[in-house]
Amino acid sequence: MTLKNKNRIFLFLFISSAVIFLFNTALLFIAAASKSIVPPTSPMRPFVLIPRGNLCAYNFNSSLAAILLFSLSAPALSIIIFKGFEKTSSLEILFFSGFIVSCITESARIFLPLFGFWKTNSLSLIYIGRIVAAGRFLAPMSLFFAAVFSSEEELQNAERNIFVLLASTCAFGFFYPMDTTITTSTCTVLWGFRKFFAAIRVFIVIVTVFSVLAEAYSKGIKEIYTKALGLGILSAGYGLLCNTDCWLEFIAAVALYIPGSMIYLKTIHYLENTWN
């Protein structure tokens, strides 16, 4: 893929994600003004940071804040990469576009509480659930592809690898079972084999981090260890932000997600400039 096409991809991601963020924000304000925001009744909490005590008491507004942060981070990351990597044809950054797309898919969750949409139990709930599930599979897979398929030997296979990444993600989202009768505290519908889905994502992240560590050890470059650290912090922040339904969890997620993103991207930028 040419440098020009790569820049066009991230410019397109910035424009489209910025429009989606503005649309989501406007829709949220309209629903709030008309008092049409209907939180799910007795939602299931998929994950609790601290199971006992009141530190992690459920708060619906924290879930909305997490969704908006995802929606905002997509254009922010896109413009940072567009400006910072404008003259760099890095395959790692190209695969990272999949992670940005996964952030965009998280914004689909905002439709469930608006106008009591979660009460409809319609096909639209299935579509939203599948979009979010596909995005949550795409995020770790994008980071995995960035770590494993970003060498110079894979340069000629970039388009093929991107196609495999997107095709597998779409297939996963289309076929994965959904249960629209149960709404979660994070404004999603419940997925089948929930623990299995979570285990698969964690496993992919662990394999990705160890792949980067193995590369750092074999090449003897300490900056790659820093990239592994940033990758781990980013993944932890992303996972917490996906499951945020209380303010403590939101604060912890932000404290990991933003620094992790910056460490990961800055390290890639440094390594690209050093090698090139």
Closest CA to 98 of 157, 23, 161, 182: 161
> Residue 63: is its pLDDT beyond 80?
yes
- Residue 39 φ/ψ, nearest 5 degrees: -65, 145
Burial of 148 per CB tally in 10 Å (0-12, 13-18, 19+) = middle
Would you list the domain boundaries of the chain? 3-39+58-275
Write out pLDDT tens, residues 159-193.
Answer: 888 899 999 999 998 888 888 888 899 998 888 88
- Determine the Cα–Cα distance for residues 116 and 34; give it in Å rounded to an integer: 12
- Position 194 scores a pLDDT of 85
What is the percent of the chain where pLDDT is above 90? 59
b/e per residue 250-265 (b: at least 16 CB within 10 A): bebbbebbbebbebbb
43 in Cβ contact with 183 (< 8 Å): yes
Residues 197-221, mean pLDDT to the nearest whole number: 93
Write out pLDDT tens, residues 40-56.
Answer: 888 889 888 888 778 88
CATH T-level fold of 3-39+58-275: Rhopdopsin 7-helix transmembrane proteins (1.20.1070)
- Position 272 scores a pLDDT of 79
